[in-house]
Amino acid sequence: MIDLTPAPVPLCDILGQYQSLQPEIDAAVLRVLRSGQAILGPEVAAFERETADYCGAKFALGCGSGTDALLLALHALDVGPGDEVILPPFTFFATVGSVLRVGAKPVFVDIDPLTYNIDPTQIEAKITPKTKAIMPVHLFGQCADMGEIQAIADENRIPVIEDAAQSFGSSFDGKRCGTLGAVSCFSYYPSKNIGTLGDAGAVTTDDEALHKKMTALRNHGSEVKYYHKYVGWNARIDAIHAAILRVKLPHTEAWVEGRRAAAKRYDTLIEQYSLHGFFHRPTVMPYGRHTFNQYVVRVPAQHRDPLVKHLKAEGVGCEVYYPLSLHQQECVQHLGHREGDFPNSEAAARAVLALPMFPEITEAQQRRVLDVCAGYVKQTLKMVA
């Protein structure tokens, strides 16, 4: 019997990047193992130099994860109890989690319904004398409106921390992420634009004093061994991950272009499949370079969860980023928010759907995704009729 079941399409292809560079990555990992230098050392220093150069920032510092990056930025800027940090409620939990972990109060500002990024027109009203930082997130690979945000930040003398975890390689107005705030935070979690096979992160900055402080914070707050200037923690990047990322870094541009080409194909195919009435496609702002860490469509809310079920049953990967706005999470009930406080974020949580996206995705795979979506639409329309 010939199996005629179409091949499954994964949401992302973690092994694709590894397989395409396997000899180099294997050699890099072995180089670290054989050197015995697993903690910091030359591999990490080279990774930091190359990352700073790629972003166009003066300094980069490797750390244990994107979450560590956010914590390093907040600690370095002395954000703590009694302080407020402005951020969007529609992002991965780590953004708000890090603010809460340093003891500060998260102050949410609703998102723009088209870009899913923080709405700059609503920021000023939330600034108080306690506001210690503004933390925009560049969601799904597209920068927040950094021109507006930086203008408000400058006027009020408040530092900006970029949560660029999903946006390595993105840019705003010709400037790369990593240079768009006082401190920028990256994650190399396997599904990010460039990912390692484990956890890692980085912070970048042009400010030498902040870089020095974050360097100390990453290593238990010490500048001189066993003398502790700050209460830091172990936020170090493993040398193995630095070595893997050094192999991957020169391929970032090609992979980003692969994602952008795939997004363009989705845009066209959605129209070809006459799904453009059903799917609201991503809005790409002219001010920057969208790197499509995710290709997220919006569907009529009543169809979202049934469509997810249908896609999964047909072997098509998909994901909902994110099903619950952060102000409605159980662990932040003490902030006293209610349903309706951030309507754009709540509406997005009900309607968004991420389709398979990775640099190597083929047109045939994308057609399969849309075949399955079209099948769902046809079937439900029949039921209605």
Ligand X SMILES: *Cc1c(COP(=O)(O)O)cnc(C)c1O
187 sits near ligand X (criterion: CB under 6 A) = yes
Q: How far apart are CA 314 and CA 270, in angstroms?
A: 18
Which one of 115, 166, 184, 366 is in contact with ligand X (CB under 6 A)? 166
Is beta strand 295-298 parallel, antiparallel or unpaired with respect to 352-355?
A: antiparallel
47 sits near ligand X (criterion: CB under 6 A) = no
> Quick one: 31 exposed, middle or buried, by C-beta within 10 A (0-12, 13-18, 19+)?
middle
Which one of 52, 87, 165, 357 is in contact with ligand X (CB under 6 A)? 165
- Assign 110 to helix, strand or coil: coil
- Counting residues that bind ligand X (by CB under 6 A) gives 15
Q: Among 128, 138, 145, 146, which Cα is nearest to 86's?
A: 128
CB of 65 to ligand X, least distance (A): 3
291 sits near ligand X (criterion: CB under 6 A) = no
Q: Which residues contact 234 (CB under 8 A, 6 or more apart)?
A: 64, 218, 219, 220
**Helix, strand, coil in percent for the chain, rounding step 5:** 45, 15, 40
Q: Among 114, 168, 136, 145, which Cα is nearest to 292's?
A: 168
Stretch in the footprint of ligand X (CB under 6 A) among 59-67, 125-133, 210-218, 325-333: 59-67
204 sits near ligand X (criterion: CB under 6 A) = no
Radius of gyration of the chain (CA): 21
- Assign 160 to helix, strand or coil: strand
95 sits near ligand X (criterion: CB under 6 A) = yes
Is beta strand 84-87 parallel, antiparallel or unpaired with respect to 105-108?
A: parallel
Stretch in the footprint of ligand X (CB under 6 A) among 45-53, 89-97, 151-159, 357-365: 89-97
Q: How far apart are CA 203 and CA 46, in angstroms?
A: 15
Q: Residue 32 or 87: which CB sits closer to ligand X?
A: 87
Q: Residue 90 or 376: which CB sits closer to ligand X?
A: 90
Q: Residue 182 or 377: which CB sits closer to ligand X?
A: 182
Stretch in the footprint of ligand X (CB under 6 A) among 48-56, 90-98, 217-225, 360-368: 90-98
67 sits near ligand X (criterion: CB under 6 A) = yes
Q: Residue 192 or 260: which CB sits closer to ligand X?
A: 192
One-letter amino acid identity for 33?
A: L
189 sits near ligand X (criterion: CB under 6 A) = yes
Quick check: 189 and 74 in contact, CB under 8 A?
Answer: no
73 sits near ligand X (criterion: CB under 6 A) = no
Q: Residue 66 or 120: which CB sits closer to ligand X?
A: 66
Q: Which residues pair with 280 in a beta bridge?
A: 298
Stretch in the footprint of ligand X (CB under 6 A) among 114-122, 160-168, 210-218, 242-250: 160-168
Q: Residue 67 or 115: which CB sits closer to ligand X?
A: 67
Which one of 28, 94, 240, 308 is in contact with ligand X (CB under 6 A)? 94
Stretch in the footprint of ligand X (CB under 6 A) among 6-14, 19-27, 161-169, 269-277: 161-169
Stretch in the footprint of ligand X (CB under 6 A) among 46-54, 159-167, 242-250, 255-263: 159-167
92 sits near ligand X (criterion: CB under 6 A) = yes
Q: How far apart are CA 271 and CA 361, in angstroms?
A: 19
Number of Cβ within a 10 Å radius of residue 344: 19
Q: How far apart are CA 239 and CA 181, in angstroms?
A: 27
Which residue ranges make up the site for ligand X (CB under 6 A)? 65-67, 91-92, 94-95, 137, 163, 165-166, 187, 189, 199, 201
